[in-house]
Amino acid sequence: MEAAPSRTVAPRRTPDGLIEVRFPGDPQPALVLVEIETYPDADNDRQVLDDLMVLALDRGAVPEVVSLVLKPKGHLVTTGRSERVGPRGRTRVSGSWPVVRLWELSADDLLAMNDPGVIPWVPLTKSDAPPESLMATCRERIQAVTDPTDRAGLLVVTQILAGLAFPGRTFLDLFGGPEAMIESPVLDEVKEILRKRYEADGVTKALRGAILANLEVRFGTVPEQRLEPLNALTDETRLKALHRLAATCPDLDTFVAGLTSHG
């Protein structure tokens, strides 16, 4: 037994979806972590728990979580629960939070709120109205917004989410035509957010694939359960270190030990 080398403990990053919200009756704003996923994904649960631990360390408080999933996909599930387990299985860190599944909400309930800010979500909720009728109602509500910048932004975001809800339909005539989409700064921001997310996802998936390929070339087929912690890793620096380890370790046990350690 020997003392572990000392390290400066600091959060890797501040989550992108962290906002401050002042709830009615509360004297101080509360931290709220917003996570939005297009489809259910177990990785989302792990990411939320990672972000909660980072924020608890950095801010000294656990934020509220708003976890939104936009569309169902097969049997995939976002549970709103996750757990980290120590290498010997005796220590556990867990968290839980509510998950809002847009397709389970009622469009009528959202429209009854008379809040233009929720209109972009309406296309993804359940409704008995035909898509064209539902989108016309959304457009009518948004057109009542007096601020032109807010109105334009709501129109563009609603059209984007309507395209996700009703594939193959763009509703261009209802939402200002293609010129509105091309000229909208809101669309530019959405594209940039998606670009960064897809780039990050691509890097982590490529690194995981390279690690697995290295191990299989050197040691043959690797039992899936031995590499299960690898699927939860998203930190690029950590994955690069494991990639080097996969190419140099003398045996699979050494790699698994490195994978399950916190170093």
**Digit-coded pLDDT (tens) for 119-142:** 999 999 999 999 989 999 999 999
The whole-angstrom separation of Cα 82 and Cα 85 is 10
The least confident of 8-17, 129-138, 240-249 is: 8-17
Query: Distance of CA 54 to CAs 90, 151, 159, Å?
Result: 22, 36, 35
The more confidently predicted of residues 138 and 205 is 138
Dihedral pair phi/psi, residue 96, rounded to 5°: -145, 155
State the Cα angle at 104 between 80 and 133, rounded to 5°.
145
Structure-token pair, residue 137: 């109602």
- CA dist., res. 79 & res. 11, Å (int): 25
Number of Cα atoms under 13 Å in the Cβ half of residue 8: 4
Cβ atoms of 30 and 63 within 8 Å: the answer is: yes
Structure tokens at 142: 């948004």
pLDDT tens digit sequence for 81-111: 999 888 888 899 999 999 999 999 999 999 9
pLDDT at 152 over 60: yes
Query: Which region holds residue 257: left if phi is over 0, alpha if psi is between -120 and 50, else beta?
Result: alpha
**What's the mean pLDDT in 241-260?**
87
Read off the amino acid at residue 73: K
pLDDT tens per residue across span 176-201:
555 444 444 545 555 555 455 555 56
**Residue 9 pLDDT > 80, yes or no?**
no
Q: How far apart are CA 72 and CA 41, in angstroms?
A: 10
**Which is nearest to 94 in space by CA: 57, 60, 58, 48?**
48
How many other C-beta atoms lie within 10 A of the C-beta of residue 255?
25
pTM (predicted TM-score): 0.63
Contact 123, 160 (CB under 8 A): no
3-state secondary structure of 20: strand
- Looking at the DSSP assignment, which residues form a beta bridge with residue 85? 92
pLDDT, residue 181, reads: 45
- Confidence at residue 54, expressed as pLDDT on a 0 to 100 scale: 86
* pLDDT at 182 (0 to 100): 43
